[in-house]
Amino acid sequence: MGKYIVKRILTGIISMFILITVTFFLTRSMPGSPFQTGNVSADIQAAMEEEYGLNQPLLRQYGTYLGNLMKGDLGISFKKQGVRVTEVIGRAWPVTAALGFLAVLTAAVVGTLLGIWMAQTKSRLIKGGLFLGNVLGSAVPNFAAALLLLLIFGVKLGWFPVSGIFTPVHYVLPVISLAVYPTAVVARIMSQRFREEAGKEYVIMAKARGLKWRKIVWTHVMRHAYLPVLNYLGPAAAFLMTGSFVVETIYTIPGLGREFVEAISNRDYTMIMGLTIFMGTVVILVNLTVDLLCGLMNPRIRKSYEEA
Amino acid sequence: MALLQVENLSVTYKNQSAGHEVVKRVSFHAEAGKITGIVGESGCGKTTLMRALMGLLPANAEVECDRILLGEKDIYGSQMEQVRGSQISMIFQEPSVYLDDALTIGRQIADTVRAHNKCTVREARRRAEELLDLVGFSPAGDFMKKYSFELSGGMCQRAAIAMALACQPKLLIADEPTTALDALVQGQILGLLRRIVKETGTAILLVSHDLGVIASVCSRVLVMQQGEIVEEGQVEDVFYLPEHSYTKELISLSVRKRHARFEREDGEWKNILELNHVTKTFGVQEAVKEVSLSIHEGEIFGLAGESGCGKTTLAKMVTGLIKPDAGQILYDGNEVEVIGKWKKRRGQAGIQMVFQSPASALNPALTVRGMLEDALLASKEARKDEVDGQVCRVLEQVGLKGEDADKYPHEFSGGQKQRLVLARALILRPRLLICDEPVSALDISIQEQILDLLTEVQNQTKIAGLLISHDLDVIKYRSNRVGIMYQGHLVESGPTEEVCRLPWHPYTKVLLESVLTPDPFRARKRKPVSRIQSKLEGGQNQCPFAPYCGYVRECCKRLRPQMYRFGEREVACFLYSQEQGKLRSSGYIMGSQI
Amino acid sequence: MRQMSKFWKNKYCRAGISILVLFILLAVCVPLVSSFSPTEQNVALQNLGSSPAHPFGTDKFGRDIFVRVWYGAGISLLVGVLGAVICALIGVCYGGISGYAGKKTDLILMRIVDIIDAVPSLLYVILIMLVLGASVGSVILGICISGWTKMARVVRGEVKRLEQMDFALAARLTGAGGGHILWKHLLPCVQGTILVNLTFLVPEAIFTEAFLSFLGVGIAAPAASLGTLIREAKNQMRIYPGQMLWPMLVLCMLILAFYLIAAGMEQEIGKIQEG
């Protein structure tokens, strides 16, 4: 048990380290300086750069940054006066987390049910319809879906609010926009795996034992078919995280995504770095958890650890 | 007294073209408390018939029937779900894939119990333990928590039988239950089936293509050909006095003909292959343990033993695909070079191999010509302009035509594919040909053809051969000398005819007897079923066959026997050791001690 | 290659290929033939609706949207296909070597893939775009940074499965070297899977490019990538929804076409393997 967990956590730590390093050097390589906007004279620019420590050798800056990171200090925003990056994250994080969680839940539940339906239905009409729906869901990019939903259901029909995130109703359109693509993927995986597993011999044996079809599906088939879906949750988290950039911008939601997009337009170094590192770490952690869960769920792996 | 009566059952598959009638108006009956056999070649419809009885056929199969009487009730058309598992149950051919490997076997048995009886989880588990005990697991409690991938094929089948008996069915259908199992295990499972009939009164419908299996446990038998029953009756009547021509054909095909063996001229033949104390361990599993043997030029050496005994591992070490952990392998006096995955390697194309499964032995993406040309060019055995000629030559040598070179493997039948595998091995003009179960995946009639081809090629080219098979019948008439392997050890070796006529090692005797012939009186002599222990005592320092040996003594459980050599025969059994033979005079010519 | 003709029989493939061919023709011909330039501004023609002269209308700078959309579609296609092909090449080589290599090499190579996959690549890509500046080349680079990992995993899995088969062992017995076995014996068996995955890679690349352009870090105005067009139009979408909807429609149809082809190919290959 221990070996697998340790190895996986080690990979996670290495990923985080690489994330931090690459982000740091990339941000520092961006052309221009954050203080170049507007009518700032060269002297003032130089003075500000010195105050923020930007004129020190790069490696020294890197070291300082790492040191601060250990203490949980992500620095101060260059653009928003005196605001700590951690403050911004603290404020924006719950919103994005809620959106992401709801989107994953929707994708997992709706996708699974759609997939099972698609695999079991005998009507060619429904099968074709679901298949087309699936392909459409994969094809429409999340920002396009968000804009369309906003236009039709928000503006034209007025059923849903178009900005802010105050009441549960505000969640509907953004969550749907985010969840469209993952739902389609889950449905496709589920449908394929379900059909594969349902044709396997242990299902025939289960029928021969006189088990009811519903019991066979939920006790036997799903146990095997669900694993790849669970595996997908890792990449899905990454996809949703980046999806939040566009969805939050379009729906004017004060989450991490919107802060990130703003930070990029403003060339706000510390914000960009802090947000990137935070979001990247969250995704790494989610991937880690999913991997461990999958490993534990598989009795073959579990058995080999119990013996070791 | 008939328990099951089927009247006019037909099964038709609805395809794009006209319907394909697989079972044609079959009527038969099975008696209570007896084992009824159904025999026929693969494709005759027996499995379809059984699945039709259970209602397990796919949606595109149309079943028509007048009546299916189980006891007094007509169950045709009724809700099969209630009947399945509770009154009629079924076990299948490959038990490990028919069990779900994500749930413990205890759980699966308990589920079956609860599917038909209203009882608590605890009661179901208790019943599951009872059943595991009934089928031979001891202690049963230990096996409740096992998963199917932790059990061997035989153990999986026992678990499947336990599941089938969970609700005390009146009839158990066994569809080729032992076909995927070894000879030893097959005997155990068949014995178990007989014991179950005696102890619980369940009737069994046993389906098999193997006449020996039918002859050994069934009282009545039905012979099926192309969807119809062509003969039925008591087993003795049908096998000793067959009436229908097809039955006669089946019986004659299942007994292998004697052949004139290739006899080498006497003289000094040097060793083309020598193995000295070769050992290979995979993790904790000892695959091959201290095997020493040698093969002379022009000789066919047969290697027999059940699956898992290390024959294939040994073959791979001989060809250089795997590196031995200890010991030496000499080909033509030089040590065999291990073939790394990446490096090119010349000069060892003299050892070639024929593989078991034609399905995986041929690359589906290459044409025959592509594969043969590649073999020639890669080994630099021929120049580019000679290649065409070589391809045609070798195709004709194996009984195919030159035009076949441009086809893909899937366009050939099983037997033809095996010929292609042989062609690929022969095109490099090897001096030692290793045949690893070359015919096990083929029908019996085709087996003889391929074996004949091998013998013919050997007559022409005088190459040496290592013929590996789990079926001693294959080796009996086609090899000069034979070696018997058990769990990685070589337990006996010597001239084939002598060893098969008068085996010395107890395991060899078991192996010879496990070949079931369609002779009911002989096939019915059976040893009692052994119980499966969860922990075998002993381990390293005992004779590997001790737990199953009928001649076991104290010394066998404490020490491992060496190889004792007497003239041309060798045997690793304490029965032949000096200590045991203290009372023998010097000049005593060793004979069989069993 | 003989499988190509089988794909045409599949109705999804047919639909997808038809759409694709039509779009390619339009993307190539419209910018050449049209009397309007994709970048020339003309205040007099601001915000017009659809008309025979301007099938998609004009935008707030007076540029003809029809020309811009098909020019943008061309960019999307170029970036998508090039990016996908490069990713596939890297993935096949990496996966092939990792699958065939010994345990240690395979472990290290796969760890690297795991680490790359652990972080959402778009995060890196956005940063890279900012560093390198937006252009077709940098977008393709961004796509290729982590787009190859899925192909690598798939190819590795297949190669691992195939190298144990008897025909691979037989090839080793003829004395062939590893590279030869991979290239001539193993990879040909994976052809179908590689093709399907490649076809799935293209719409993903197109999506990535459009996403980046929509965010403002991709191909920038005045060049007309579909994502940029949508970005420019979204602020006016309540008044002039058409300006946003036309590029969106073309973008979705383009991605859809590739998905249809890929799904159809997957179906056909599944049938070949079953029967």
Which pLDDT value is given to residue C4?
Answer: 64
In this structure, are strands B88-91 and B171-175 parallel, antiparallel, or unpaired? parallel
Q: How far apart are CA C49 and CA C59, in angstroms?
A: 9
Which pLDDT value is given to residue A183?
Answer: 95
Task: Answer whether C133 touches A (CB < 8 Å).
Answer: yes
Asked if B374 lies within 8 A of C184 by C-beta distance, the reply is yes
Q: How far apart are CA B237 and CA B255, in angstroms?
A: 18
Answer yes or no: are the C-beta atoms of A66 and A230 closer than 8 Å. no
The DSSP call for residue B519 is: -
**Chain C residue closest in CA terms to A247:** C215
Q: How far apart are CA A61 and CA B567, in angstroms?
A: 84
pLDDT in tens, C44-97: 777 777 777 778 888 878 788 888 899 999 999 999 999 999 999 999 999 999
Total Cβ atoms within 10 A of residue B411: 12
Specify the DSSP element, H or E, that contains C148.
Answer: none
Q: How far apart are CA A131 and CA A115, in angstroms?
A: 10
Task: Point out which residues pair with B281 in neighbouring strands.
Answer: B286
Which amino acid is present at B308? G
Asked if A208 lies within 8 A of B84 by C-beta distance, the reply is yes
Q: How far apart are CA B525 and CA B445, in angstroms?
A: 27
Out of C119, C211, C263, whose CB is closest to A280?
Answer: C119
Q: How far apart are CA A83 and CA A18, in angstroms?
A: 27
Asked if C175 lies within 8 A of B346 by C-beta distance, the reply is yes
Asked if A212 lies within 8 A of B102 by C-beta distance, the reply is no
To the nearest whole Å, the CA of A282 is away from the closest chain C CA by 9
Using a CB-CB distance cutoff of 8 angstroms, which residues of chain B are in contact with residue A212? 81, 115
Identify from B323, B363, B376, B421 which residue to disrupt to test chain C contact, counting C C-beta atoms within 10 A and taking the largest count. B363
Token look-up 């787009």 returns C147
User: Which has more confidence, C58 or B465?
Assistant: B465
Instruction: Print burial letters for B252-287: b (CB count within 10 Å at least 16), e (below 16).
Output: ebbebeeeeebeeeeeeeebbbbbeebbbeeeeebb
Asked if A141 lies within 8 A of C211 by C-beta distance, the reply is yes
Average pLDDT rounded to a whole number, residues A124-135: 89
Using a CB-CB distance cutoff of 8 angstroms, which residues of chain C are in contact with residue B380? 175
pLDDT in tens, B513-559: 777 777 887 777 766 556 665 545 555 678 888 777 778 788 888 88
To the nearest whole Å, the CA of C3 is away from the closest chain A CA by 22
Which pLDDT value is given to residue C3?
Answer: 59
Assess whether pLDDT exceeds 90 at residue C138: no
Out of A212, A224, A300, whose CB is closest to B81?
Answer: A212
Q: How far apart are CA C255 and CA C248, in angstroms?
A: 11
Q: How far apart are CA B332 and CA B339, in angstroms?
A: 17
A217 class by beta-carbon count within 10 Å (0-12 exposed, 13-18 middle, 19+ buried) = buried
- Phi first, then psi, for residue C69 (nearest 5°) are -65, -45
Query: Which residue from B134, A132, A15, B368 is spatially nearest to C120, judged by alpha carbons?
Result: A15
Query: Which residue from B153, B255, B157 is spatially nearest to B211, judged by alpha carbons?
Result: B255
Q: How far apart are CA C92 and CA C241, in angstroms?
A: 43
DSSP string, C217-256: SSSPTTS--HHHHHHHHHTTTTT-HHHHHHHHHHHHHHHH
Average pLDDT rounded to a whole number, residues A108-118: 93
Answer yes or no: are the C-beta atoms of B505 and B305 closer than 8 Å. no
Task: Answer whether A239 touches C (CB < 8 Å).
Answer: yes
ipTM of the predicted structure? Answer: 0.86
Using a CB-CB distance cutoff of 8 angstroms, which residues of chain B are in contact with residue C101? 341
Average pLDDT rounded to a whole number, residues A76-90: 78
Band (A53; pLDDT cuts 50, 70, 90): low
- Phi first, then psi, for residue B405 (nearest 5°) are -65, -25
- Give A266's contacts (C-beta < 8 A, 6+ positions apart): A34, A78, A79
Sign, Cα dihedral of B495, B496, B498, B499: positive
Out of A200, A208, A224, whose CB is closest to B85?
Answer: A208
3-state secondary structure (DSSP) of residue C52: coil
Token output for A267: 């060339």
Task: Answer whether C120 touches A (CB < 8 Å).
Answer: yes
Q: How far apart are CA A52 and CA A119, in angstroms?
A: 59
Q: Residue B311, by phi and psi: left (phi above 0), alpha (psi -120 to 50) or beta?
A: alpha
Strand ranges for B332-455 from DSSP E: 334-335, 351-354, 432-436
Using a CB-CB distance cutoff of 8 angstroms, which residues of chain A are in contact with residue B75? none
Token look-up 């919107």 returns A258
Assess whether pLDDT exceeds 50 at residue B466: yes
Out of C120, C130, C211, whose CB is closest to A238?
Answer: C120
Peptide bond into C222 cis (omega under 30): yes
To the nearest whole Å, the CA of B82 is away from the closest chain A CA by 6
Total Cβ atoms within 10 A of residue B170: 19
Token output for B204: 């069994």
User: Which has more confidence, B120 or A63?
Assistant: B120
Assess whether pLDDT exceeds 60 at residue B210: yes
The DSSP call for residue C88 is: H
Specify the DSSP element, H or E, that contains B532.
Answer: strand B532-533
To the nearest whole Å, the CA of B318 is away from the closest chain C CA by 11
Sign, Cα dihedral of A132, A133, A139, A144: positive
pLDDT in tens, C170-228: 988 888 888 888 888 999 989 888 999 999 999 999 999 999 999 888 887 667 789 98
Which pLDDT value is given to residue C204?
Answer: 92
Asked if A210 lies within 8 A of B86 by C-beta distance, the reply is yes
Assess whether pLDDT exceeds 90 at residue B175: yes
Task: Answer whether B97 touches A (CB < 8 Å).
Answer: yes
Rounded CA Rg of chain C: 22
Q: How far apart are CA A127 and CA C12, in angstroms?
A: 14
Q: Of the ranges A294-298, B138-142, B290-294, which is most confident?
A: B290-294
The alpha carbon of B550 is separated from its chain's Cα centroid by a whole number of angstroms, namely 23
Cα distance between the two ends of chain C: 19
Specify the DSSP element, H or E, that contains B213.
Answer: helix B211-217
Token output for C136: 């077709």
Using a CB-CB distance cutoff of 8 angstroms, which residues of chain A are in contact with residue C203? 138-139
Q: Work out how many CB contacts closer than 8 A connect A with C.
A: 112
Using a CB-CB distance cutoff of 8 angstroms, which residues of chain A are in contact with residue B85? 208-211
User: Which has more confidence, B426 or A301?
Assistant: B426
Superfamily covering domain A87-267+287-307:
MetI-like (1.10.3720.10)
Which amino acid is present at C176? A
- Phi first, then psi, for residue B222 (nearest 5°) are -120, 135
DSSP string, B27-90: EEEEETTSEEEEE--TTSSHHHHHHHHHT---TTEEEE-SEEEETTEE-TTS-HHHHBTTTEEE
Using a CB-CB distance cutoff of 8 angstroms, which residues of chain A are in contact with residue B147? 299-300, 303
To the nearest whole Å, the CA of C219 is away from the closest chain A CA by 15
- Percentage of chain B beyond pLDDT 90 is 20
Kindly report the CA angle at A159 between A155 and A160, in degrees rounded to 5? Answer: 80
Answer yes or no: are the C-beta atoms of A20 and A61 closer than 8 Å. no
Asked if B98 lies within 8 A of A300 by C-beta distance, the reply is no
Chain A residues 194-233 with CB within 8 Å of chain C: none
Half-sphere exposure of A27 (CA within 13 A, CB side): 26
Q: How far apart are CA B307 and CA B183, in angstroms?
A: 10
Answer yes or no: are the C-beta atoms of B324 and B279 closer than 8 Å. yes
Band (C19; pLDDT cuts 50, 70, 90): very high
Token output for C158: 């297949």
Round the average pLDDT of chain B to a whole number and report it.
84
Task: Answer whether C239 touches A (CB < 8 Å).
Answer: no
Task: Answer whether C119 touches A (CB < 8 Å).
Answer: yes
**Chain B residue closest in CA terms to A222:** B102
Chain B residues 148-167 with CB within 8 Å of chain A: 149-150, 160, 163-164, 166-167
To the nearest whole Å, the CA of C151 is away from the closest chain A CA by 15
Domain ranges of chain A: 87-267+287-307
Q: How many helices (H) and strands (E) does chain C have?
A: 12, 0
**Chain C residue closest in CA terms to A7:** C111
Which amino acid is present at B410? H
Task: Answer whether C145 touches A (CB < 8 Å).
Answer: no
Answer yes or no: are the C-beta atoms of B500 and B472 closer than 8 Å. yes
Token output for B303: 């290697």
3-state secondary structure (DSSP) of residue A301: helix
Q: How far apart are CA B216 and CA B352, in angstroms?
A: 39
Chain C residues 200-229 with CB within 8 Å of chain A: 203, 207, 210-211, 214-217
pLDDT in tens, B111-129: 999 988 888 999 999 999 9
Total Cβ atoms within 10 A of residue B579: 7
Out of C170, C175, C179, whose CB is closest to B361?
Answer: C170
Peptide bond into B139 cis (omega under 30): yes
To the nearest whole Å, the CA of A211 is away from the closest chain B CA by 6
Half-sphere exposure of A251 (CA within 13 A, CB side): 38
Which pLDDT value is given to residue B107?
Answer: 92
Asked if C256 lies within 8 A of A19 by C-beta distance, the reply is no
Task: Answer whether C2 touches A (CB < 8 Å).
Answer: no
Average pLDDT rounded to a whole number, residues B23-41: 89
Task: Point out which residues pair with B203 in neighbouring strands.
Answer: B171
Token output for B368: 């025959």
Which pLDDT value is given to residue A308?
Answer: 41
Sign, Cα dihedral of C246, C251, C256, C257: positive
